[in-house]
Amino acid sequence: MSTIRPYHIGFSAADLEEGTTIALLSGDPGRSRHIAESKLVGARLLSDERGLDSYAATLSNGRPVVCATSGMGAPSASIVINELAQIGITTIIRIGTSGSIQRHVAIGSVVIAHAALCRHGAADDIAPPEYPAAADPFLTVALANAASEAGVAHHVGVTASVDTFFEGQERTATSANPHLLRRLQGSMDEYVNLGILNYEMEAGTLFKMGGVYGISTGCVLAIIAARHDAENPDLALKATAVDNAIDVAIRAAATWTRRDS
């Protein structure tokens, strides 16, 4: 077993129970703690360096997992994903939050992204822009089945993964910057017409890294904003939406068996 402790995540394979291959990856360290301490058993803090809080914990069927934190945005996520792969993680399920673009994707539901329109600078350091940002199809099916079993309203489709929460998601009224670059003006309308379900900020890079590194990646996103109606997230409904996404990810992780290509 490798005892290399990668610089940023601050823990190594030697700190994990043998056979730990799945990471539940949240952007928010508080969500990682919530999953480990409230949804799983035997939570044990592995590291809290740089706010990238990580926990070892066990699913109800006894399978060990890591609850890791990516931080906000693709550059930070790419470092965490790389280091998780270095310590033997072969499946990463992102549990994120998101704003819906399509009217039928309601706050409280979840989006299970099978692919991303990837507008990430970080991903371009890993693969050419035209390299597909695609989730593991089998893991995506496992997530969709888990959502059906849990009775969670869900949509499977393409997400828009962008680098900025404000300009990149066409926010102006709630942003310090009321001016949008011409190339971004009208981008949300364009995405409606392209059938893209929602905005988020890390899945595209995760998916491309999955393809290049040969690891399984999937993504379940809690819809907390309805961007066709408002710019702000709905804080009253956020906790329910996030718990729905967590429930889906945990159920999928419990049944997941990776298929090597």
Catalytic residue among 5, 8, 50, 228: 8
Binding mask 187-226 vs ligand URA (x if CB under 6 A, - otherwise)?
Answer: ------------xxx----------------------xx-
For ligand URA, which stretch binds (CB under 6 A), given 92-100, 114-122, 138-146, 173-181? 92-100
Output DSSP code: residue 250: H
Q: How far apart are CA 244 and CA 228, in angstroms?
A: 22
Whether 70 and 77 have beta carbons less than 8 Å apart is answered as: yes
Q: Count the helix, strand and coil residues of the chain and give each as a percent rounded to the nearest 5.
A: 35, 25, 40
- Minimal distance, residue 59 CB to ligand URA, in Å: 26
Is 227 considered catalytic here? yes
The strand ranges marked E within 10-61 are: 22-26, 41-47, 54-58
Question: What is the helix (H) or strand (E) element at residue 213, kind and residue range?
Answer: helix 203-213
Catalytic residue among 33, 94, 171, 251: 171
Binding mask 225-244 vs ligand URA (x if CB under 6 A, - otherwise)?
Answer: x-------x-----------
Catalytic residue among 94, 154, 227, 251: 227
Q: How far apart are CA 210 and CA 55, in angstroms?
A: 22
Is 8 considered catalytic here? yes
165 near ligand URA, rule: CB under 6 A: yes
99 near ligand URA, rule: CB under 6 A: yes
- Cite the active site residues: 8, 83, 171, 227
